């Protein structure tokens, strides 16, 4: 069975909204390596529509520019990209398609297909639903040493607790914590 890993930039107070406003001062080679290991290794990338639009608006140009992140841009371009949206979509980025049907049912089938790892980045509402359904195998949180104060939090409005177990943790020179959680048995 394929594994799903989801990666999120998160502030110390749990905010995940608009990381472009607070994340970049903390980005370094350590974080780049962590993101590449998690997302760049995936042969399939599952994204919400907003995250897809952001990625499709940036990564193809980065690949074409051939600079430092061109290898990651190419890996993302080459990966199968499945976009979760209830609205009809038109795609400009290669290897992109829309998820068909119910999210949990479709992702359950996707995990059963042959293939490599399935990666996720951002896409908070999708991550929440898949966590609640027990379909995420690894939750990579890059916890930034900043309290944003306002914005959507990862675990807002949960119906039930989601027990997690710590798989690994690292501290980067910038003070960012890279914690990887997996599903745990009920506490």
Domain ranges of the chain: 4-183
Question: What is the band of 186 on the pLDDT scale with cuts at 50, 70, 90?
Answer: low
What architecture does CATH give domain 4-183?
A: 3-Layer(aba) Sandwich (3.40)
- Note the pTM of the prediction, 2 decimals: 0.93
Encode pLDDT of 71-98 as tens digits: 999 999 999 999 999 998 999 999 999 9
* Distance (Å, whole) CA 14 – CA 59: 27
Question: What is the band of 155 on the pLDDT scale with cuts at 50, 70, 90?
Answer: confident
* Distance (Å, whole) CA 33 – CA 85: 29
The number of beta carbons lying within 10 Å of the beta carbon of residue 85 is 15
pLDDT above 70 for 184: yes
Mark 158-167 as b/e (b = at least 16 C-beta within 10 Å).
Answer: eeeebebeee
Question: What is the band of 187 on the pLDDT scale with cuts at 50, 70, 90?
Answer: low
**Residue with the two structure tokens 């608006």:** 57
Encode pLDDT of 117-139 as tens digits: 999 999 999 999 999 999 999 99
DSSP the chain: ---EEEEEEEETTSB-S-GGGTSGGG--HHHHHHHIIIIIT-SEEEEEHHHHHHHHHHHHHHHHHTSTTHHHHHHHHHSEEEEE-SS-----STTEEE--S-HHHHHHHHHHSSSS-EEEES-HHHHHHHHHTT--SEEEEEEES----SS-BTTTT-SS---EEEEEEEE-TTS-EEEEEEE----
Q: Is 93 exposed, middle or buried (0-12, 13-18, 19+ CB in 10 A)?
A: middle
- Pair of tokens at residue 69: 């992140």
In sequence order, what are the beta bridge partners of 164? 183
């Amino acid at each position: 069975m394929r594994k799903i890993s989801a990666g999120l930039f998160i502030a110390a107070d749990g905010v995940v909204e608009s990381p472009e406003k607070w994340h970049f001062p903390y980005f370094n080679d350590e974080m780049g390596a962590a993101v590449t290991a998690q997302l760049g290794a995936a042969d399939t990338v599952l994204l919400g529509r907003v995250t897809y639009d952001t990625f499709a608006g940036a990564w193809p140009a980065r690949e074409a520019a051939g600079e430092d992140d061109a290898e990651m841009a190419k890996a993302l371009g080459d990966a199968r990209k499945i976009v979760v949206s209830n609205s009809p979509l038109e795609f400009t980025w290669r290897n992109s398609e829309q998820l068909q049907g119910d999210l949990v049912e479709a992702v359950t089938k996707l995990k059963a297909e042959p293939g490599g790892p399935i990666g996720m980045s951002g896409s908070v509402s999708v991550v929440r639903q898949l966590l609640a359904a027990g379909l995420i195998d690894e939750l990579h949180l890059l916890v930034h040493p900043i309290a944003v104060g306002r914005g959507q939090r990862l675990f807002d409005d949960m119906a039930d607790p989601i027990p997690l177990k710590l798989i690994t943790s690292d501290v980067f020179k910038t003070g960012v914590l890279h914690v990887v959680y997996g599903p745990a048995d009920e506490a």
